Amino acid sequence: MNKKILRIVIPVLIVIAIIGIYIVKNNNDNALENSGSDTSSATFDLNELKKEKLPIVLDFTSATCPPCREMEPTIHKLKEEYKGKVIIKSISVDADVKGIEDFPVKVTPTLFFFDEKGNPYKPSKDIDIQMIEYSSKADNKHIYTAREGLLTEDEFLKIFKDMGIK
Indicate whether this model's pTM tops 0.75. Answer: no
> Is the pLDDT score of 160 beyond 60?
yes
Average pLDDT of 40-65?
85
Residues β-bridged to residue 1: none
Q: pLDDT by residue (tens digit) across 125-136? A: 889 999 999 998
Contact 44, 98 (CB under 8 A): yes
Give the confidence band of 13 by pLDDT, cuts at 50, 70, 90: confident
Q: Helix (H, G, I), strand (E, B), or coil: what is residue 60?
A: strand
Give the confidence band of 121 by pLDDT, cuts at 50, 70, 90: very high
51: Cα within 13 Å, side-chain hemisphere: 4
Among 43-47, 86-90, 140-144, 146-150, the least confident range: 43-47
C-alpha to C-alpha distance for 153 and 73, rounded to whole angstroms: 10
Instruction: Using alpha carbons, select from 74, 68, 79 the residue that is nearest to residue 32.
Output: 68
Strands 56-61 and 87-92: parallel
C-alpha to C-alpha distance for 118 and 56, rounded to whole angstroms: 8
Q: Print burial letters for 113-134: b (CB count within 10 Å at least 16), e (below 16).
A: bbbbebebbebeeebeeebeee
Asked if residue 67 has a cis previous peptide bond (ω within 30° of 0), the answer is no
